A and B are shown apart, each in its own frame.
Chain A
Amino acid sequence: MLCIFRCFSLALLLLCLAAGVRADDILVADAYARCAFLAKSGLANVRIDVAEPVTQRKDLPPFCRVTGQIAPSIGFEMRLPMQGWNGRFLLAGCGAYCGELVPDREGYANSINFALRRGYAATTTDSGHQAPRTDTSWAYNNPQAETLYAHAWVPLAADASRAILHNFYRQKESWSYFSGCSNGGRTALKVAQMYPDLFDGIASGAPGINATYAAGVLGVFLDRTLVDKSGNLILREEKVPMLSQAVLYQCDSLDGLTDGLVSDPGACDFQPESLLCRDEGDTSTCLTAAEVEEVNRLYAGAQDSQGQQVYFGLPKGSEAYWTRWLLGETASGVPHVTDLGSNFLRYLGFEQDPGPGYHSSEFDLDGDIPKLESAARRFNATDPNLGKLQQSGGKLLMYHGLADPLTVPEESITYYNSVVNHAGSADQVSDFYRLFLIPGADHCWGVTGRAPDLFDPLQVLEGWVERDEAPERIVARQHVAVAGPEPAGPIMRTRPLCPYPAVARYRGEGSYFDADNFICQPASDGQGVGAE
């Protein structure tokens, strides 16, 4: 190691070579110098606070770590491999309301380390403001920060990253990608719509496309549905394992394969009344009338005073994840989505922010939705015209868990259908835009291990972008242990994900735990996954 630092001069370099130091080490030594030099590179619009080699991380290859701020206010961290760069660049989206730099976030959603390990140079940002990711008060009377968060941070961060990348490697990247999930998935769609030339490939996971609905209307609905008048959760997480298993027992076989998965939630007609408590005794293994009512309301979704559907309900088969997203308590004892609607409406949803005094209980689902129009224009990624992306040769991979209880899969399905309608036919879009629904999958791999749901979206995009291999199927893995976003335990099964509207069907022979024995087929009548 000491030698590395002394190798800067050619003479010493030769000495090192003579001393048997590997050529790789010398490249790293050169990278040390270039990494440190980045701090002095004087890029316009970029303030670099730290530029340092990081070589002691056991879980990561040696990389040059660059942190700082991109004008006007975008905090960022970029990681550039010091050896074995694969010529690619990734810009990661950020989740929820962003505001934090989480460069060591694991998994595939809004993270960069999985790409860094494969040789990517990658950047993650806070989208232009600094606040906890569930906080919205930064947006109070701050349209500039809102526009940055909505989409405008992306070209700024992409340009700055490219300049750093070029300074470091002395060459341009061969391929560039954007990948994000949840809000990052929404941002990815905005990029596809507004900045179609910026990336070669875009991965959009579980996007809250209609943010004003996915955060606003759904938020109002959840604020009203999950808690009673005293603000206490009605359905508590203790009941979730029972509810989840009851749905599985009833609906596992409806998709034609008994495999421990509810692959076709649309076909599942589970009624929570079947678990209704019959007497006043112990209610730990049954549902009270209030709990049954809540579960029914969650499945039904938001309605106006006339009983008209205003927004989608939660998917059957998503119950196991309710604990994670809806009912589980945070360390402070507050349910995860407390005031989801209020937080959005106070500072983001209306043209004039009503501020901290506002509560979602004031929101009138009959008449107030049009008041979210200006926010919709800013945040929502509903433009069905992807013609420019097609012209620029970009590829858009969209994926969504069919058991996502936080951003329902209908968001992606509806958008996909709108793009197809706008283009005229599915054939018109399938060469640059495909949607993959993931049976049994949670929101952005929040909890994995329950379904074959794990895959690397960048690997799919690489094949599509770089080798023109349009994804006919994506082989997803299910690991054994139920865990967070990182796979744990051995692989228990593989299963293909299919381009919507096709679904994976078992061939009828061979192990049904092996993706090889499934084919992607058009959904038959009444069995369309996500068919509404």
Chain B
Amino acid sequence: MSQPLDTLWYTRCPVPTGLGIALQKGWLEQALGDQGTRIQSLRESASQAVRESHFDHSLQNSVRHGGSIPAIWARASGRETRVIGLSWADEVQLILSLPDSDIRTVKDLKGRRFGLPHWTGAQIDFTRAQAIRGLENALRLEGLEVKDVELVDFIQGGTFSDEAPQRVAGLGAFGGSRRGGQNPELTGLLRGEVDAIFLKGAHAVQLAQQFGLHTVIDTGSHPEPLVRSNNGTPRTLSVDQHLLDQHLDSAVGILGAVLRAEEWAHTHPEDTRRYLARESNSSEYWVVQAYGEDAHQRLRTELDERATTALQDFTDFLHRWRFIPERFDVRDWIDPRPLQALRSAVAKRAS
């Protein structure tokens, strides 16, 4: 039986997620409030340990919707979490060179210097992992491997959760300011210390435009899903095992709010674009450039075969590059019960 839950902690990445829309609409608060549960944002906490749970999922009774790398790492490191949904919102994934660079295509990267971020204090450096994934997938399209380029590390001290984000007019950036900047490898590129870097999403297209950078390739628009699969494709909606064991109704309520928000988004492109701009701390124009004119249609959380296969492929990739200590079967990680419960409730109402 499901026990009453006092507080649910939530967090999502600054990217398009159903959970982000559900929060903006107040629907998560409503769904959990009906069960007597209050919700609390973990990344706005004054405690760094709580904020860091966005990455290591250490907090009991918490839900996270976002990039798969920290979620896979937490699971591989022994954290008892379960995936209750996967969402696949394709986004731009850019390899960028300077405007006057002679690197125009992927082939030209051979033997050149590629800048990677290296966050020395982070438990899981997802910025580095996603850059290597993007680079590897791009190079393989031309029969090249990562060893064919020279990797240059841009070391950044501290962690991703050192500062709580400032809030202005009820709006927040994802994280606090960072000494050395948000993307040390971009500084390296602009200084001419490397020939190319990887950036993705709304900020990538904006920064590329602001500095007139050349897009060598956008692996995010490749027809093959496994080439596009990366930190955000698919994203994981995960909760801790304790929540599922003790508060299954809460897990069902969370997923219900996410699906409700996504269904609403499908028929509200304008409003959704505004919410996505708020989520990604960018403009509506850059949201469209990065996530498409149909960004509102790309919000779909399910447990489909394509996303599951990509998640396994990505887990194997993280193991191969030693970002996680061991590989695991993602099918054992997925708990389909909340989704099944919602679907049978819908079927019951329909019959």
Partners in one complex: no
